[in-house]
Amino acid sequence: MNAVLEFFNGLESRPLLRLLLVAVPVLLLWLLENGYPLIQLHYKRSKGRHAVVNFTFTLTHFVVHGALAFGMVFIADWCQRHQFGVVHWLGLPVWGIVVAGVLSMDFFGGWLVHWVEHQVPFFWRMHIVHHADNNVDVTSGLRHHPFEALNRWVFFAAGIFIMGLPIYAVMLAQTFMSMFTMFTHANIRLPERLDKAISWIFISPNMHKVHHHWKQPYTDSNYGTALSIWDRLLGTFSYLPPAQIRYGLDRYYSNTEDENIGTLMQSPFHNAAEVGEPANR
């Protein structure tokens, strides 16, 4: 147990290892998608070109997050020195801190920030980059505008401060969430019963794909990253058979531009109605 905690305690200072922990699962799932696809995707050019576009945003996201990492470390260290935060006030043991870390980070940095991004127009214009993808696969999971990384950092930092989490709990929770982000975006087919069983506790691939359906209100549902309890408790859970799911956006954005990096980068600086013409459906 101590070795595991020590590993995650120093993970924030090893960006290459963090990148490797993302790259290897992405590659494996990317290959698995070819054999067991959930939906038959129609890439504009090729699956490889689609991946290049999405990884461009992934790398910018990592750069911004890496530049702000010292802030999370500072907050976590301050909380430990001053014994500030819920985990200290409750006197939780190590295993309790780990559980509290996963629950709170998944809420603040997963469900809550995601819900806000769908409710606040300026944040939504950043988040459009993620939803504009017409071919959701494993590479779509970390397709976020670099400014969205700033927004998400604020919510992560708030969760760390309120809970008083040590850095090992933060990094363990973030790694857990990243793994689920890749899993839930991957275009892989699971037996329906297995997928539904998973969705009672965790976000399953079918459950999250509903969130990427091109029409509201489905777009404004299933906000969770790893745990499905927040959507079920807060009334934002919805279900749609995979055969009825169609990706993209029905408003705000031209679906012909979902692989145009320049247009996507500029999206937060336009009014939502000016980002592009609604797609012809």
231-250 per-position pLDDT tens digit? 999 999 999 998 899 998 88
Q: Residue 209, class by beta-carbon neighbours within 10 Å (0-12 exposed, 13-18 middle, 19+ buried)?
A: buried
Q: Is residue 16 part of a domain?
A: yes
For residues 126 and 1, what is the distance between their CA atoms, to the nearest angstrom? 39
Q: Which residues of the chain have pLDDT under 50?
A: 272-281
pLDDT of residue 159: 97
Q: Is residue 79 part of a domain?
A: yes
Q: Is residue 243 part of a domain?
A: no
What is the tally of structural domains in the chain? 1
The boundaries of the domain holding residue 159 are: 2-193
Q: Is residue 213 part of a domain?
A: no
Q: Is residue 226 part of a domain?
A: no
Q: Phi and psi (nearest 5°) for 40?
A: -75, 110
DSSP secondary structure of 26-61: HHHHHHHHHHS-SS----SS-HHHHHHHHHHHHHHH
pLDDT of residue 276: 45
Q: Is residue 255 part of a domain?
A: no
Q: Is residue 163 part of a domain?
A: yes
For residues 223 and 246, what is the distance between their CA atoms, to the nearest angstrom? 17
pLDDT of residue 186: 94
Q: Is residue 81 part of a domain?
A: yes
